[in-house]
Amino acid sequence: MKRTLRLTLPWLSLIIIGVIAYALRYGLVESPDVAHLCDTMKSLECTARHATVMGFILAPLRMSATYSYQMGIYGWAALAAAVLALSWKKPFAAWLAAATGLVAVILYCFAPGAFALLVGCLRLVRLQSNGATPLDHHRTGGREIHAKP
């Protein structure tokens, strides 16, 4: 039971983080009611909405004098977590890359978020499978007969 919980807890927490990010996106950022409320007065919802929107608007990546890619702070954080997961082979680093990538994808930083989500999930699966023994699908147990050429 303890091993099962240790293996499933990171994935369940990623689902919870995804639900929270979706609630933030559709409840605050894209909600017309909150937008109209923020037009007339300041509140805690307006401050949270403004901080969320600034997270995916700020920090563009300048490719040239005429072109820049709008990456956002969430995208930069996801890329940093992906680099950390690739260099530091620990399950927490892999989970962090997957979590920041998931938040970045949901909050409009698609390319760096998808990269970090992919790196984090693949690294987490790899690190979790290191302790598992491979299954013998054919159940031969080494009793295979090979014809000599």
Q: What is the pLDDT of residues 104-115, one digit of tens each?
A: 999 988 899 999
| pTM of the entire predicted model | 0.79
CA distances from 42 to 30, 51, 53, 56, 78 (A): 17, 13, 16, 21, 30
| 102 and 21 Cβ atoms separated by less than 8 Å | yes
Tokens of 94: 């892999």
Q: What is the pLDDT of residues 7-62, one digit of tens each?
A: 899 999 999 999 999 998 898 888 888 888 888 888 888 888 888 888 877 766 66
Which residue in 78, 83, 94 sits closest to 127, CA to CA? Answer: 94
CA quadruple 78, 53, 14, 86: dihedral, nearest 10:
0
Tokens of 125: 């699966």
| 65 and 99 Cβ atoms separated by less than 8 Å | no
| 76 and 102 Cβ atoms separated by less than 8 Å | no
